[in-house]
């Protein structure tokens, strides 16, 4: 029997969120993502009357979800009190867990997606071992939360691959070697708490849209570089999901020579030259040697390139060029306002920067080239925080119900 | 003084549509795009009560916009009358005009975007000449409409390029050689009737979404092949516009060899090998000869390929491959349910088909490959009909006001 359960002190807040009207959901989302707002500003932003706003937020205030921003209100510009209100981030807590091959990383965050505690642990490669590992880390996170576990409102888990979030299914994950696994069902049964399953890049995109650089932008893309090259797209106010669950597969755009074969079996994919695995292989095959043996890790390939080894530099140049070309492709097709680059390889971004920007500028079409490319430092916990953001969004948008 | 004016018999219908609540707009859109529906079905689809639906449609029925589908209602499945209602397509008429280099094509359609009359005429290349030509064809279309001109509700004009639809500006049109032209302002002044300006591919996408293959799909793309290669994307319920007005620029994705230089100046663009101009040039440069002279038109290049000339066949093969690769790129990034292929080159689609599908299958990633590729016969009036659909949508969604 699992010790993880929805917190007793989360109950009333969850009941209020679950019963909120569509307008009240909009209002809460606006206050949550944009920070302290006066009722007047909320009314303006949502097109509702101020009376309707007051009525909608009343149960949220009673449940502790919304509080006065400034307990001693000063006069507004015309002498009337402005009365800004804000979400109390401490009112709810969620868990977000990222499954990697051989490892799970978990965080607990507050309602503002701020990380409270984190943990990681090795797991076996089988599906059952992963289910067990996720359950164990959820229990550890709850223990680390102490009294705050009484606010626990939900659990999100993210994995790489083709995920059917609505039904909790992992349809296909090449990285984990899974096909058609009911991860949501297995975890919900193991933990006796509903578990939301989401694609990892989509989860990261939700985190940026609600709690990061994406707030207030009409559209943005997040590009992750590392052992895979991923892309989350946000267009017309929503994450692009794809009619068949596939979207943002920037790693498998055919943007390089057909002579490069990808791990997916296709030719010319971006990942075939720009994933960390492809970089290591290319440097080793071209004779790259570090400490007397062929380069075997990305750290060694990076060190060789930093030392100016022409073979290693050329491999990183090729990776930077194809990533920049891929970003131009995203810009020409969907026209994002901002492109965020993140992922574990961001720490070595200096090796990509010049060729990436040159390729982007060479191929971005007209005004599409005005999109800002923003580098974002990456922590491994970010993926887990994405899963937390996904379940927070699921709670607010009434797609995730904790009981 | 122009003889074009908003029709006297359109006034009340336009007033009702302009004053409709957001819920009433949704209801009208549902009935317009999905055809006859019972009030019960409308209530179900919109989440409103049946009483709210009845109240919302009452003024629309009074204004003649909505009528009983079946004047002698039979019993529904439980013996109660089903009372389906539908939009009366004859209640309003709009004009749609497409500007091409040296030519304007215009149609008048009913409220269901069904073509009623059409016309085309040559125009000069200058901006002023185009304004004059559009005004003249609008007058001709009104004359052709006869009594139905009394239902005229709006005018839409579409052009290729970067269009700021909200402000009626053509920011950049390489095809027309325009930069920063206030086409909406000039036409509205010339005709004394507001004119909606829209990008041509976006207008075509609106037509498919409301009145064509796109109805009821979660997302679709429309690919136009011809003198340019364009793409309209429909994602999350809306046309993708791009934060800077650029999106769907499939013609300028860098998907072929850098040795091919595009008319835009960039290298490796799809259009550099697949536009009709590029095909003609490539066949001629490779020694393609027809009737004793180097190939000079797309019709001659097509004839040569149909005769099995290896040079011409190879050029079309290359075009088909890059278009198929571009469609896979769109599928991998945005995951459409359907891809419609249209445009003037569709009439010679047999020359593209095999390589196009092979390239799509080679590069589509996982479930993204399940998107249906549908060929759509193309008439030149389709572009003009797109402009008509854009203004119909503008009227219903209250972005276009006729007075």
Q: What pLDDT is recorded for position B90? A: 96
Query: Collapsing DSSP states into helix, strand and coil, what is residue A38?
Result: coil
pLDDT tens per residue, range A178-228: 999 999 999 999 998 999 999 999 999 999 999 988 888 889 999 999 988
Of A243, A253, A371, the CB nearest to B243: A371
Domains B1-213+379-403 and B216-375 share a fold: yes
Residue pair B95/B113 in contact (Cβ under 8 Å)? The answer is: no
Q: At residue A72, does pLDDT exceed 90?
A: no
Query: Collapsing DSSP states into helix, strand and coil, what is residue A98?
Result: strand
Average pLDDT over every residue of A12-33: 92
Q: Of the ranges A1-10, A268-277, B150-159, B345-354, which one carries the lowest mean pLDDT score?
A: A1-10
DSSP A254: B
Average pLDDT over every residue of B94-114: 97
Mutant choice from A332, A336, A373 vs B, greatest count of B C-beta within 10 A: A332
> Which CATH architecture fits B1-213+379-403?
2-Layer Sandwich (3.30)
Q: What pLDDT is recorded for position A62? A: 95
Of A231, A235, A365, the CB nearest to B240: A235
Residue pair B233/B335 in contact (Cβ under 8 Å)? The answer is: no
Of A240, A245, A264, the CB nearest to B367: A245
Find the residue in A nearest to B218 (Cα): A243
Find the residue in B nearest to A179 (Cα): B366
What is the ipTM metric for this complex? 0.84
pLDDT tens per residue, range B289-323: 988 999 999 999 999 999 999 999 999 999 999 99
| Percentage above 70 pLDDT, chain B | 97
* Minimal C-alpha gap between B50 and chain A (Å): 18
Confidence grade of residue A1 (pLDDT, cut at 50, 70, 90) = low
* Minimal C-alpha gap between B179 and chain A (Å): 12
Instruction: Count other C-beta atoms under 10 Å from residue B146's C-beta.
Output: 10
DSSP A75: B
Higher pLDDT, A45 or B158: B158
CA-to-CA distance for B316 and B39, rounded, in angstroms? 52
Mutant choice from A165, A254, A323 vs B, greatest count of B C-beta within 10 A: A254
Residues 6+ apart with CB under 8 A from A27: A42, A46, A48, A53, A56, A57
Take residue A92 and report the two structure tokens written for it.
């709810």
Q: How many CB pairs under 8 A join A and B?
A: 166
The domain spans of chain A are 1-213+379-403, 216-375
- Across chain B, mean pLDDT equals 92
Is A362's CB within 8 Å of B333's CB?
no
Is B335's CB within 8 Å of A242's CB?
yes
Q: At residue A37, does pLDDT exceed 80?
A: yes
Q: Of the ranges A156-170, B67-81, B325-339, which one carries the lowest mean pLDDT score?
A: B67-81
Confidence grade of residue B1 (pLDDT, cut at 50, 70, 90) = low
Of A268, A325, A335, the CB nearest to B241: A335
Q: What pLDDT is recorded for position A220? A: 94
Give the homologous superfamily in CATH for domain B216-375. Answer: ATPase, nucleotide binding domain (3.30.420.40)
pLDDT tens per residue, range B6-33: 998 999 999 999 999 888 998 999 999 9
Q: What pLDDT is recorded for position B18? A: 94
Burial of B125 (C-beta count, 10 Å sphere; 0-12/13-18/19+): exposed
Q: What pLDDT is recorded for position A320? A: 97
Confidence grade of residue B217 (pLDDT, cut at 50, 70, 90) = confident
Q: What pLDDT is recorded for position A74? A: 55
Query: Collapsing DSSP states into helix, strand and coil, what is residue A325?
Result: helix
| Percentage above 90 pLDDT, chain A | 76
Residue pair B243/A218 in contact (Cβ under 8 Å)? The answer is: yes
Of A329, A362, A367, the CB nearest to B245: A367
Query: Collapsing DSSP states into helix, strand and coil, what is residue A353?
Result: helix
What are the chain A neighbours of B367 within 8 Å (beta carbons)?
162, 171-172, 242, 244-246
Is A363's CB within 8 Å of B254's CB?
yes
- Across chain A, mean pLDDT equals 92
Q: At residue B175, does pLDDT exceed 70?
A: yes
Is B335's CB within 8 Å of A245's CB?
yes
Is A335's CB within 8 Å of B235's CB?
no
pLDDT tens per residue, range B243-264: 988 899 999 999 999 999 998 8
| Percentage above 70 pLDDT, chain A | 97
Is B365's CB within 8 Å of A218's CB?
no
Mutant choice from B251, B329, B373, B398 vs A, greatest count of A C-beta within 10 A: B329
Q: What pLDDT is recorded for position A361? A: 96
Find the residue in B nearest to A231 (Cα): B333
Residue pair A17/A398 in contact (Cβ under 8 Å)? The answer is: yes
Q: Tokens 């969907």 appear where?
A: A334
DSSP string for residues in A285-315 = HTT-EETTEE--SHHHHHHHHHTT-HHHHHH
């Amino acid at each position: 029997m699992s010790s993880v359960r929805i917190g007793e002190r989360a109950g009333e807040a969850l009941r209020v969120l679950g019963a909120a009207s569509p307008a009240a959901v909009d209002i809460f989302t606006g206050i949550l993502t944009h920070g302290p707002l006066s009722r007047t500003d909320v009314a303006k932003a949502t097109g509702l009357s101020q009376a309707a706003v007051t009525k909608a937020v009343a149960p949220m205030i009673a449940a502790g979800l919304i509080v006065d921003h400034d307990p001693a209100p000063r006069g507004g510009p015309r002498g009337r009190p402005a009365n800004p209100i804000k979400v109390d981030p401490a009112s709810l807590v969620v868990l977000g867990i990222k499954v990697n091959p051989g490892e799970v990383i978990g965080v607990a965050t507050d309602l503002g997606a701020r990380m409270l505690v984190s943990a990681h642990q090795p797991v076996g490669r089988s599906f059952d071992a992963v289910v067990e590992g996720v359950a164990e880390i959820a229990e550890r996170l709850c223990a680390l939360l102490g009294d705050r576990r009484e606010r626990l409102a939900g659990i999100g888990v993210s994995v790489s691959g083709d995920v059917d979030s609505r039904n909790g299914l992992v349809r296909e994950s090449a990285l984990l070697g899974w096909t058609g696994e009911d991860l949501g069902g297995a975890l919900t049964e193991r933990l006796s708490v509903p578990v939301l399953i989401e694609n990892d890049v989509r989860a990261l995109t939700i985190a940026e849209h609600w709690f990061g650089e994406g707030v207030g932008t009409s559209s943005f893309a997040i590009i992750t570089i590392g052992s895979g090259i991923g892309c989350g797209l946000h267009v017309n106010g929503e994450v692009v999901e794809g009619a068949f669950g596939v979207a943002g597969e920037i790693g498998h755009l055919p943007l390089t020579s057909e002579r490069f074969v990808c791990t997916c079996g296709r030719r010319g994919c971006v990942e075939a030259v720009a994933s960390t695995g492809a970089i290591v292989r290319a440097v080793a095959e071209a004779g790259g040697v570090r400490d007397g043996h062929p380069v075997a890790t990305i750290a060694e390939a990076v060190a060789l390139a930093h030392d100016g080894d022409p073979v290693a530099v050329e491999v990183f140049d090729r990776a930077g060029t194809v990533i920049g070309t891929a970003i131009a492709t995203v810009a020409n097709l969907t026209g994002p306002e901002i492109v965020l680059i993140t992922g574990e390889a961001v720490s070595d971004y200096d090796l990509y920067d010049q060729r990436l920007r040159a390729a982007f500028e060479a191929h971005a079409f007209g005004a599409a080239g005005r999109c800002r490319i923003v580098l974002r430092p990456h922590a491994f916990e970010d993926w887990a925080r994405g899963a937390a953001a996904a379940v927070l969004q699921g709670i607010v948008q009434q797609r995730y119900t904790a009981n």
